[in-house]
Amino acid sequence: MGGNALQRDYQKGTIEEQERNTFKTLENLVFLVENNYRLVITHGNGPQVGDILLKNDAGESVYNIPQMPLDICVAGTQGEIGYMIERILRNVLNKHGLHRNVITIVSQVIVNHKGKAFKNPTKRIGRSYPKDMIRELERTKGWKFKSELKAENGFRRVVPSPEPVDIMNKDAIKQLAMKDNIVITAGGGGIPVYIDNKNNVRPVEAVIDKDFASALLAVSIGARELYFLTDVPYVYLNYQTPDQKIAEFLDYNDTRKYLEQNMFGEGNMKPKIEASLYFIERGGEKSVITEATRLKNKKYGSRITMFYD
């Protein structure tokens, strides 16, 4: 479930808004449960983590409350969003006379903490800071910044965005799902951690790509189908250009060709396409990218499906 499934761009992000959005999204998954699908749900958390970082700033500047590191912020949003999805999904199932156990797992995801992503942080997080503040923050907190084009004289903190390497508790997730429990996990790409030379789990300041984390989880548990619920009904080639074209059904080879020709949006659709290809290359049967309301609409073919061939 992408961020739009929880919070729309034009909304304030109140809990009432998020609950209504979540209910509407989850209503579209009922037919999967009715058809005996075993579901594992992942979700975005960008707006929610952004809000926590703003609260961190406010608490530190006004009340001298120490800021929490990014891994704790991700864990917190996994818990709160997982709880919201779990509670509302139980109500949706109850409405339709269905019963499944719904379980939220706050998940840690292993990354390569010495990989190239840590040499060139690119993921912007948090608020914009004026230039006269960032030198002090770089000195006292070790943060790194890049200019923010949308904000005049603004700079935003950047952190690494590494690809996930392994999902902790993947075996438990699979076992729960295979016993017909609906599992909510790997929210926001998961909490980024690594294993040190003493085999201890250590956190890192990073944001994992949630699309790749979902694809890795799907492969790790042997899922047959992978669904990305986003805010557009189709995948487009050359999106928002005069040559824009709907790509309703694509096979693996055509998708790879279009990707190499840079015909997918760099900041929005491309990561989902790459994650879909990763899934198909490792045995997945199909990957679907669409908005939730279109999932059941097979008559008009309102989804993009990639078949392995």
Could you say which of 24, 55, 123, 296 is catalytic? 123
Q: Is 253 a catalytic residue?
A: no
Q: Is 123 a catalytic residue?
A: yes
Q: Is 198 a catalytic residue?
A: no
Could you say which of 2, 4, 189, 284 is catalytic? 4
Q: Is 131 a catalytic residue?
A: no
CA distance 261 to 237: 10
**What are the E-state strand segments in the chain?**
40-41, 102-104, 108-111, 123-130, 144-148, 154-159, 164-167, 182-184, 191-195, 201-203, 225-229, 235-237, 245-247, 250-251, 286-290, 304-307
Structure tokens at 137: 């923050």
Q: Is 190 a catalytic residue?
A: no
Query: Residue 141: how many CB atoms within 10 A of its CB?
Result: 10
SS3 250: strand
**What are the φ and ψ backbone dihedral angles of 254, each rounded to 5 degrees?**
-65, -40
SS3 304: strand
Could you say which of 21, 126, 188, 210 is catalytic? 210
CA distance 238 to 261: 10
Could you say which of 44, 45, 189, 272 is catalytic? 272
Question: Could you tell me which residues are beta bridge partners of residue 237?
Answer: 245
Please, is 307 exposed, middle or buried when counting C-beta atoms within 10 Å of its C-beta (0-12, 13-18, 19+)?
A: middle
CA distance 41 to 219: 14
Catalytic residues: 3-4, 123, 210, 272
